[in-house]
Chain A
Amino acid sequence: MSTSTLKLQDSQIKIINNICDSFNNNPGELISILHRAQGEFGFLPEEVQRAISDKLNISIAKVYGVVSFYSFFTMTPKGRHAISICMGTACYVRGAEKIVDEFKEQLGIDVGGVTEDGKFSLDCLRCVGACGLAPVVLIGEKVYGRVETHQVKEIIESYKD
């Protein structure tokens, strides 16, 4: 798996240490700490994991084991606009697979990938619970419901930056 690296500055290490301190450096709070760290850095590269393992005094293998186990944690940075397509059963039977294919084609990336300019990333997720609107696409916090393939291009183009 390709991973991105990040040279941590002292100020960033301080941020990590502060997060760990706020959980009393308790290894039992590792998942909460990782949530906060990912919120801070956007992803969890090796250096961040190493800093956490140093601070909590646990092996980096343990930290990596947890990061790689849970789908919420990522070791690659997301695009500025993270596109997530719901592949829960309700969306699947209402044609989510076709929507995924259309996004893949329009963006020229695979699921899990990021466009070269770093603008979009594409992921699938399991059920956001808005099954009444299936199929559902999430871009950042915005929810698009009852998406049809012909709308995909328009949706992508509405993100201009």
Chain B
Amino acid sequence: MRADLIDIQVEDRGDDVEITLSGSLGSYQLAAVREKIEMLTEGPGCFVYLNLQRAHFKVGDYLDLFLELLNKMHARKSKLVLIFDSDEQDEYFARYRNIFEIYPSREAYKDSGVSKQLQQIGVYYTSKTGVRLSPTVAITLALLILGWAITLFFIIAAQGRDIADKQAQIIALQAQKDRYVHEIDRLESSIGPLRKLGVVQDTTMLSSFGVIQDWVSYLEYLENDRREK
């Protein structure tokens, strides 16, 4: 019940955890605040932002709490960032300004530099997974993976181009075949009446492999042809 004057808000974005404290923080609330803050910072999170913009500190004891918290976060390889943008808080944290990382907002910290954040992520996941990579090895690995990715991309792109060419060829040949079939049909229909009259000899069937498929048939055809002549 002693914590009833404080509102606590947690926004968990995976690696980023923002804890917002608001309300009057006097000496009666200290124990409760300590318990709640420790409880909330215990879980996962590479960057823990403690938003104190709407907190009003009535006693100086909270500085010790935040210093302890900073140590704990440091031991857990997480980064503690204090978020506020007010003169009141500036004055409250003036003594330890160089110890704490203080930013006006979470976005401001995000914009403050990529390298230190990457380094922090590295440190955090090293402690979590037990795998430690030196920056040189990390960069080499990253370049290697990037190289593989680029090579893979080029191979896929080249194959894609090849497949596209082949497809275009197939489509063109298909169109050509259709055109020829159409043309043959047209020609057949035009000579149809003449063939009926016997003016034109129908040789189309002869050239067909469907009709003469073996030597016996071929010889029979030659014999018939000779007899007709």
Query: Are A and B co-members of a single complex?
Result: no
Query: Could you list which residues of chain A lie within 8 angstroms of chain B, going by C-beta atoms?
Result: none
Query: Could you list which residues of chain B lie within 8 angstroms of chain A, going by C-beta atoms?
Result: none
